[in-house]
Amino acid sequence: MSKVLINVANLVKHFTLATSNPFVRDKPVVRAVDGVSFTVSEGETLGLVGESGCGKSTVGRLILNLLPASSGAVEFDGHDILSMDSAGMRSVRKDLQIIFQDPHASLNPRMTVEEIILEPLYAQGHKRTPELRAYAAELLEMVGLPARFRNRHPHQFSGGQRQRIGIARAIAPKPKLVVCDEAVSALDVSVQAQVINLMQDLKAKMGMSYLFIGHDLAVVRHISDRIAVMYLGRIVEIARCDDLFSRPLHPYTQALMAAIPVAHPRLRHKRDRVRGELPSPLSPPKGCHFHPRCPFAQDICRSEAPQLRQMGDEHQASCHFAEDLPEKATAAQ
């Protein structure tokens, strides 16, 4: 197995909400990220999947140190990111990049494409040289845009083209890890497929790692080597792709899979949908967060929070009944 690039241990982020009432002592706290641990190895793609509000995007911001973490540790390439001074952090940043969801908000409308792409290098202190400009042209060609577009402004491009520009910016400093925060979610399906293919090509060429954050299980599966499933601020299951899909060991993972629409009308079947909705992260259920929606919940689930347990080779799940789950699930159908 290749070297671990980033090691996230017990990462926690609590947001304290402001209230209008000055007499309230206990301000409401949202546990957006509540003890998340995972690793990403060199050249690997880890998918981070979950529904809105599960904290997956916050995890992305935390490991880039764009938000201060409440507690926990992030070790990236031998550096302890959360305790670094700003000068040290700046030099690490060239190895850590991000691609955003919204192609309209992620590019500075006042800059030309070339300036946008080279901004990470300028920010690192590089000067504008002919070599650097040639590099910008090269980057544009790499993401499938003609180099002659380099003096244009973002508003002249379509959503898919802008996303390519955002990708070019992210790979410009030759990073070791790129966080893709819902990078293809805002695109139309036909364009989405183009961008996914591009991201895979680039990874093959440049050998970096991805942390691919998304909500569409099919898309995440397509691009990832391993997948971590998040629910209400916690990772409930993490496994290699094929393993996760052939042997899901957490009822929430099963529910997510069951919710994916079928690929062909012939495969339609009446199924048991997961009940209820995501509880408010302000007052998450006691014990296992998923118990109010879980068809297999027992007393222990309501009182005791399960820990992530090793369930096989590179497969972890946090369910009290992970061992029995495959049988239970088949029995229920």
Partner 1 sequence: MSSDTPILSIRDLTVDFAPKSGRLPAVSNVSFDVTAGEMMCVVGESGSGKSVTALAIMGLLAADTAISGNILFEGRDITRLSRREWQKIRGRQIGMIFQEPMTSLNPVFTIGRQLVETIRHHERVSVRAARDRAVELLDMVGIPSPRSRLDDYPHQMSGGMRQRVMIAIALICSPRLLIADEPTTALDVTIQGQLLDLLNDLRSETGTAIMLITHNMGVVAEVADRVTVMYSGCVAEQAEVMQIFDHPAHPYTSGLMNCTPKLTVTSAQLNTIPGSMPNPAAAPPGCLFAPRCELAIDACSEGRPAQVNLTGNHSSACIRAEMLLGESAE
Partner 2 sequence: MIGYTVSRLLQAIPILFLVSLFAFGMIYLIPGDAATVIGGPEASAADLEEIRQNMGLNEPFYLQITSFYTNLFQGDLGKSLMLGTPVLDAIIDRTPITLGISIYSLSITIIFGLVTGIIAALNHNKLLDQIATLFALIGISLPNFWLALILIVLFSVHLGWFPTGGYVAFSESPIGWLKTTTMPAVALALLQAGLLTRITRSTMLEVLSQDYIRTARAKGLSEWVVVGQHALANVMMPVVTVLGLILSVLLSGSIVIEVIYNIPGLGSLMGNAILSRDFPLVQGGLISIAASLLFLNIVVDVLYFWLDPRIRIKSRD
Partner 3 sequence: MQSHIEIDAVEDEPTGLARFYATARRFMRNRSFAIGAVLFGSVVLVTFLGPLLTDVSPNALSMRNRFQPPSFDNLLGTDNLGRDMFARVIYGAQLSLMIGTSVVILNAIFGVMLGALAGFYARLDNILMRIADALMAFPAVLLAIGIAAALGPSSMTAIIALSVVYVPRTARVVRSSVLVVKELDFVMAARASGATDFRIIMKHVLPNSMAPMIVQLSFVFAYSVLSEAVLSFMGLGAPPTVPSWGILISEGRAYMREAAWLTVVPGVAIAITALGLNLLGDGLRDVLDPRMKVEEG
Binding site for partner 3 (CB under 8 A): 61, 64, 66, 89-91, 93-94, 96-98, 100-102, 105-111, 116, 119-120, 122-124, 144-146, 149, 151-153, 156-158, 160-161, 166, 169, 173, 191, 194, 197-198, 201
Residue whose CB is less far from partner 3, 177 or 322: 177
As a whole number of angstroms, the distance between CA 212 and CA 181 comes to 7
Residue whose CB is less far from partner 3, 173 or 248: 173
64 binds partner 1 (CB under 8 A): no
Question: 21-40: which residues touch partner 2 (CB under 8 A)?
Answer: 21-24
- Shortest Cβ 29–partner 2 spacing (Å): 14
29, 84, 193, 329: residue in contact with partner 1 (rule CB under 8 A): 193
Residue whose CB is less far from partner 3, 57 or 316: 57
9, 10, 16, 19: residue in contact with partner 2 (rule CB under 8 A): 19
10, 71, 197, 307: residue in contact with partner 1 (rule CB under 8 A): 197
331 binds partner 2 (CB under 8 A): no
91 binds, among partner 1, partner 2, partner 3, none (CB under 5 to 8 A by kind): partner 3
- Shortest Cβ 314–partner 3 spacing (Å): 29
Residues that bind partner 1 (CB under 8 A): 51-52, 158, 160-161, 188-194, 196-197, 200, 215-219, 221-222, 241, 245, 255-268, 273-274, 277-278
